[in-house]
Structure 1
């Protein structure tokens, strides 16, 4: 909007009255009263803070974004992707399947630095290179020039990448403007408690926009950008707005399909202090992440099709139970995870 919205009117009890979605008041200037309010404002792509970005430098978030990018994914077109996370890699896989030439530029030492073990990231890296994707890790961007016909990306190392389209996928930022206007606590998103209640007890938040404590990890505050988390939190917030008083207890879960490979992660893999590997055959494997006290805190798996799906689901249940399975049992191909769950 060209002008910021007016301050939110306050309730007698101190909470803010909200207007329509996005913070804009109804056309007649009145306020909408509420007993309970849910903020589900989501997130937006993190912008690349550089001059020179034009119409051929785009972000992927909405359906219309996808349609616009899809028009460039064809044989003969050159696609540069800034960022080696899930968005960038999944887009690279789709672009290669449609015949486009793809270069990924990642500033970090490897792809998938956030939340994916190096051993699994290497499998993904090799799969992309086998499909013809050029991956440049540890490369900063010195400048970008979009002249309307092509994009020229000058790398800090001295090389140039020329592309017909540059897609920027360097993360997402929670939408917290309305919460901040209302005086709510913001901490890497709208800060909520275990029941998804904000610093105003009548206002809740759910999904990409909120950070919340996870009891499974000692109350560590996290913000998750995944469809299942948004779905689960939306339902939990609705129940708690009706008085259920339920704490968030779901185990984080992520997945990604790239070429014929499926990556799945249950839990927070950066919590583990030791890793046990279980090989499933045909190149599929799972890494079990154990805390110092022996608790299973995460499981990361990769394989063709649904090769890891069943065991990741069982691992998710073990994590929820705060189980302490024997490392040798986790690594054994002959001991079924279901038997560990029963124990």
Structure 2
């Protein structure tokens, strides 16, 4: 049976980590990693940051290079597209007609940018950020003096806006919601981020929709629902991502806000697993709530976990969700699921920023978020342990910056 091997579709963070983990965990049979891009697997977080602002010619930051893949005896099929999954014969068909059989299959297909749809508008010139090629294209438009319109006030849109400001552009950011960072970030942090962007020169248009986008040789004109117009040279859209489920759906796997997987990351077919942005899973720390995460560490952790599950591990995936973003000199981090908290305790760190602790009705710490200096990382890491252990914490201890969070671990004998 080993001759069929382990096959991974998707050579991003989750897929690359899974390939390595299969070897680390002792699998000696064939491993095939299939990626649509011709590049070796690379990190995506730098695409909206360093790749856009570096003075040097940008390059990818490899997760694993071709030489290491060869050393691990991973058959890396770059520039290849899977067109069909045949579950009955446990095989894949590639765009060039090649057929690959699998013993176990991992779908790490990620997500794709959500496209802006406005009836009657020419949207072909809009830019989106997902790949290194996208980043290079955006970078060429970020010239000093140019006016850039960013559509979407999530992490990607804000990071691109900050990078454009650093490149000497003027920026207008349009967000249909009443504030930026509406998903999983406390209002006060969102307002702090908005204030920092405004200080840097970003003009915000919040709570407004887009009626039309007209394009000509002179640039773009965005007509907003409040009757105002934005004249700009470039339009960059960052309005969310859609899980890439087409292959899974085509072969009859269950879909629920992504590819539906179990606590072991197994799909409705016991020989097929999924990991990363493309899948939704039940989280044991949150009462089995089914969630889907678009986050770097989740893709990394799920990739390694899925590999172990493919090798018959019975361990449930229970890593605490963690998000981060750099906004100019500020570091923003969220650990856990903020929307599962019923009560929020604020710890003011003065010039180093603020921490927000989110408690359940019974006093358990379910999430923590913070913004400020890089030093908040230490407290976020301690909060992660408290969340993992489902610790009940006194609000007064969380609020008081003189109470060291590390001491709370000792009180719990952790």
Smaller-chain TM-score bracket: over 0.9
Deviations 1:131-168, CA, capped at 9 Å, x for gaps? 01001110110111122441110001101101100001
Confirm or deny that 1:36 pairs with 2:104: yes
Structure 1 residue 27: Cα displacement: 2.5
**Equivalent-residue separation in structure 2 for 1:54 and 1:106 (angstroms):** 17
Confirm or deny that 1:202 pairs with 2:279: no
- Counterparts of residues 264-275 of structure 1 (less than 5 Å): 264-275=333-344
Structure 1 residue 335: Cα displacement: 1.1
Confirm or deny that 1:132 pairs with 2:206: no
> Which of the residues 193, 214, 223 maps onto 2:262?
193
**Equivalent-residue separation in structure 1 for 2:104 and 2:238 (angstroms):** 35
What is the TM-score of this pair, normalised by structure 2?
0.77
> Which of the residues 88, 101, 106 maps onto 1:11?
88
Q: Which residue of 2 aligns with 1:339?
A: 407
Structure 1 residue 55: Cα displacement: 4.6
Confirm or deny that 1:46 pairs with 2:114: yes
Structure 1 residue 240: Cα displacement: 0.9
> Which of the residues 357, 378, 381 maps onto 1:313?
381
Structure 1 residue 19: Cα displacement: 2.5
Confirm or deny that 1:221 pairs with 2:299: no
SS of the residue 2:393 aligns to: coil
| Structure 2 segments unaligned to the other structure (5+ residues) | 1-35, 37-80
What is the TM-score of this pair, normalised by structure 1?
0.93
**Equivalent-residue separation in structure 1 for 2:229 and 2:361 (angstroms):** 46
CA contact 1:54–1:148 (8 Å) conserved in 2: no
Residues 10, 238 of structure 1: alpha-carbon distance in 2 compared, 3 angstrom cutoff: closer
**Equivalent-residue separation in structure 2 for 1:9 and 1:274 (angstroms):** 49
Q: Which residue of 1 aligns with 2:5?
A: none
Q: Which residue of 2 aligns with 1:237?
A: 306
SS of the residue 1:282 aligns to: helix
SS of the residue 1:92 aligns to: helix
Deviations 1:91-117, CA, capped at 9 Å, x for gaps? 010110111000000000000011110
Confirm or deny that 1:99 pairs with 2:186: no
SS of the residue 2:339 aligns to: helix
SS of the residue 2:100 aligns to: coil
**Equivalent-residue separation in structure 2 for 1:285 and 1:6 (angstroms):** 48
CA contact 2:219–2:232 (8 Å) conserved in 1: yes
Structure 1 residue 338: Cα displacement: 0.7
> Which of the residues 353, 360, 364 maps onto 1:284?
353
Q: Which residue of 1 aligns with 2:97?
A: 27
- Counterparts of residues 30-179 of structure 1 (less than 5 Å): 31-50=99-118, 51-179=120-248
CA contact 1:284–1:307 (8 Å) conserved in 2: no
Give the RMSD, CA atoms, in angstroms.
1.7
SS of the residue 1:275 aligns to: strand
CA contact 2:342–2:361 (8 Å) conserved in 1: yes
Deviations 1:182-229, CA, capped at 9 Å, x for gaps? 110000000000000000011000000000110000001111001111
Judge which range, 44-53 or 120-129, deviates more.
Answer: 44-53
> Which of the residues 379, 389, 393 maps onto 1:325?
393
Q: Which residue of 1 aligns with 2:322?
A: 253
| Structure 1 segments unaligned to the other structure (5+ residues) | none
Structure 1 runs, 4 residues or longer, greater than 2 Å off? 4-10, 16-20, 51-56
Deviations 1:252-294, CA, capped at 9 Å, x for gaps? 0000001110000000001100011111121511000000011
